[in-house]
Amino acid sequence: MPFADERTLEALEFFSVRERVVAATRTERGRSYAASLLPDDDYERVRLEQARTAAARELVAAADLHALPAVETQPLTVAAAQGRVLSPRELRLVGEAVAAAAAAYRAVREDAVLREIGGAYASLEPLRRALADAIDERDVILDRASPALSRIRRTLKQAQEESRERVGAMLRAQKYASAIQDAVVTIREGRFVVPIKAEFAHAFPGIVHDTSASGQTLFVEPLAALEANNRVRTLRLEEEREIDRILGELSRGVGENATQIERNVEMLATVDLLVAKARLAIALDAVAPELDEAPLLEIGSGRHPLLGERAVPQSLVLDDATRLLVISGPKMGGKTVTLKMVGLFLAMAYAGMQVPAAAGSRIGRFTCLIADVGDEQSIADNASTFSAHLDRMREILATASQTSLFLVDEIGAGTEPSAGAALAAAMLERLLASRARGVVSTHATELKLFAHAAQGAANASVRFDPHTFSPTYELDVGSPGQSFAFALARSRGIAGDVVARAESLLESEEREYERALEELSARNAELQSARDALVEERHAAASERELLRRRIAELRAEQERFAARAEERLQQALREFMSDLQRRSPESAKRPRLTPSQSAALSRTLEQMHRDLGMGDVRGEASPRDRVAFPLSGMQSERSAASSVRFDAAVSARPELDVRGKRYAEAEPLVDRWIDEALLGGISPLRLIHGKGTGMLGRGLQEFLRAHPAVASVRYGSEEEGSHGVTIIVMNDR
């Protein structure tokens, strides 16, 4: 028995989805494979095909995989193998198929999942090149098809020019001017001729090859051109023989490689089908379902693949705890769409297609999918809709097992409601006992109560807006649906007393049940609104968290870049400091390496600087005596103290100083020390902020700076830099 019979697949509209795969194929054989695509009953094959589709989708999305068009080659390769000479067009089509297969193989051979597809592939590059070199896209045999053909055509061209020239000379001859009908050289029976007036035929030496329809013009081959035309004719025959030889040789090559050509095209068709599935998955924004060994369905935000943007996401679970879902509610509410979506997802997944649902959706191991959806009746068999429904239910009961999934639309309908509901309840009891999984839709109150009470069953309803009585097409699992018959009747203008009478005709128990459902529906609507608000808040919070995470990552990256720059600057300052000390030291001073105590002190200073700059723990880095092995002992203690001050100044150097609000007497020593620190730190240019005010502070400091030996130039800032409230200082190169 197949995994799903044709009636089930037709009811679920699987074939409509399959047509979209067919439309995405590019090869004739791939198209035939797609047209016969069915759910596989081998679960391991399902796993393999899902993995292949996922791998193909990645390559297609990256534009690294596509299938080139190719005809069905088998009739051509069989004919060639039997000795028939193929036409130029047939040979070109075979060559294109061979080239398309080679391109597909190159695209999949490096992929761990897809490379197995090319296991039987073998390169036919010599044959491909021979076909491509011999025939162009217009099915013309090219000169390069063989050296002999190239030579013949060169000679033929020369002969044609000679023949045309001789015929042209006759046209230009004055003595034949009155006999010429049109002064043009034309061709008849492959020979160059001239059009002669019929009454002058005796006056023009030549052979008549044709006449005009009116008989007024004769097409005559001049005797002077006879030899040249004969040569043209001979060369054309040679050309035809060489072309026949070339076609025969190429056809033999196709025949000799017929088996391998078919293997390669088989691989191409398999790739083509996978590419088509991948393209459909991308178009549907589908995902690869997680495949589970247990017989279950866990669909998150599933969208019916044929509804496009109109599809409303539905979520549901069928597993060992909830084996049966009973969907109720008024007509046109979307129950059938939900039921079909469940079966369609299973069929698509088992056919190697991805499903339009949320990531994490799961599909388990099933052995049978059977559906009873829509009206079924046979005039020939004199079977009513209900009879056909019972026949289908008999099949469902006969195939029921823990690994079967059944789908029944309007179960128990088509007969007296109470009897139909009772029969449906009995059949559902049997199906639950078999531990089969299933989804059914109903209007019957009895079946809603059954689902509420039966272990392993659950109610579900397609939501309606309780105010507008319009369907929202969203699925509520856990609550039965209402008929909304009375409310809809009132909204449609049915007289109030008529509706009231109808309500009174209901038994009190059913009235209470309907009233309870109304209250439950209203409560569900409120809860859903609250849940939707929470979901939106959660999404907003997730977005904020992601934004914060990215910002933190950016700050960390900036911190690392700053630390690298600071470390480089520290090393530079240390080298310059030691170089300065060396320069200032007396030539006669002894220069042993740093003493251990000096090295330790300098190391502690550097570590503290690293911590102050947020550069992390530097323990384990090379010590200062390893970084700068320069002797300090023997120097005067006051010079050591001065050097320490200079080192600290180099480290604390900064490119900007703000002295706004200070008097010149206060600002001048600050600026002087700042300039020294910048000089030691190698910083330039500098930005001195003194404000505009009366301008006296700025002018006084600029005069001081222009006289400073370390300053190369001084200017007020541009508008972007702070205008006259800022002075830009460029330091001398050291």
Higher pLDDT, 96 or 576: 96
* Whether the Cβ atoms of residue 388 and residue 84 lie closer than 8 Å to each other: no
For the cut 90, the answer to whether the pLDDT of residue 132 exceeds it is yes
Rounded Cα gap, residues 461 and 216, in angstroms: 90
- What's the pLDDT at 384? 63
- What's the pLDDT at 334? 76
How does pLDDT run across 137-146, given as a tens digit for each residue?
999 999 999 9
Percent helix, percent strand, percent coil in the chain, to nearest 5:
55, 15, 30
Give me the mean pLDDT over the 101-117 stretch.
Answer: 94
Give the model's confidence band at 242: pLDDT under 50 very low, under 70 low, under 90 confident, else very high.
very high
Give the model's confidence band at 438: pLDDT under 50 very low, under 70 low, under 90 confident, else very high.
very high
Separation in Å, CA 292 to CA 42, 96, 200, 462: 14, 42, 95, 28
Q: Quick one: DSSP state of residue 403?
A: T
Residue (of 278, 273, 344) closest to 306 by Cα position: 344
Give the model's confidence band at 554: pLDDT under 50 very low, under 70 low, under 90 confident, else very high.
confident
- Highest averaged pLDDT of the listed ranges 106-110, 172-176, 467-471: 106-110
For the cut 70, the answer to whether the pLDDT of residue 393 exceeds it is yes
- Domains of the chain in start order, with CATH, are 9-124+257-284 (no CATH), 145-249 (1.10.1420), 290-499 (3.40.50.300), 560-652 (no CATH), 656-731 (3.30.1370.110)
How many C-beta atoms lie closer than 10 Å to residue 595's C-beta?
13
Pairing mode, if any, of strands 711-716 and 726-731?
antiparallel
Which tokens in the block code for residue 268? 């191409």
Positive or negative CA dihedral for 552, 558, 564, 566?
A: negative
Higher pLDDT, 30 or 191: 30
- What's the pLDDT at 596? 52
Give the model's confidence band at 643: pLDDT under 50 very low, under 70 low, under 90 confident, else very high.
very low
- Highest averaged pLDDT of the listed ranges 258-262, 307-311, 573-577: 258-262
Q: Pseudo-torsion of CA 520, 526, 532, 535, nearest 10°? A: -90
The percentage of residues in the chain with a pLDDT greater than 70, rounded to a whole number, is: 79
Give the model's confidence band at 389: pLDDT under 50 very low, under 70 low, under 90 confident, else very high.
confident
Pairing mode, if any, of strands 711-716 and 362-364?
unpaired
For the cut 60, the answer to whether the pLDDT of residue 458 exceeds it is yes
* Whether the Cβ atoms of residue 668 and residue 698 lie closer than 8 Å to each other: no
Rounded Cα gap, residues 159 and 136, in angstroms: 25
Give me the mean pLDDT over the 259-271 stretch.
Answer: 97
Report the phi/psi class of residue 660: left, alpha or beta, with left for phi > 0 and alpha for psi in -120 to 50: beta
- What's the pLDDT at 222? 79
Least confident of 271-285, 626-640, 644-658: 626-640
| Cross-strand partners of 361 | none
Give me the mean pLDDT over the 477-501 stretch.
Answer: 73
The predicted model scores a pTM of 0.65
For the cut 50, the answer to whether the pLDDT of residue 410 exceeds it is yes
Burial of 411 (0-12, 13-18, 19+ CB in 10 A): buried
C-alpha angle 712-715-721 in degrees, rounded to nearest 5: 120
Give me the mean pLDDT over the 170-195 stretch.
Answer: 74
Give me the mean pLDDT over the 650-662 stretch.
Answer: 79
- What's the pLDDT at 271? 97
Which tokens in the block code for residue 686? 């500098």
Give me the amino acid identity at 72: E
Give the model's confidence band at 636: pLDDT under 50 very low, under 70 low, under 90 confident, else very high.
very low
How does pLDDT run across 509-535, given as a tens digit for each residue?
555 556 656 656 666 666 666 777 787
Higher pLDDT, 730 or 599: 730
Least confident of 372-376, 464-468, 681-685: 464-468
Burial of 132 (0-12, 13-18, 19+ CB in 10 A): middle
- Highest averaged pLDDT of the listed ranges 351-360, 529-538, 687-696: 351-360
3-state SS string over 506-522? Answer: CCHHHHHHHHHHHHHHH
How many C-beta atoms lie closer than 10 Å to residue 393's C-beta?
20
Least confident of 118-127, 192-201, 230-239, 546-555: 192-201
Pairing mode, if any, of strands 297-302 and 314-318?
antiparallel
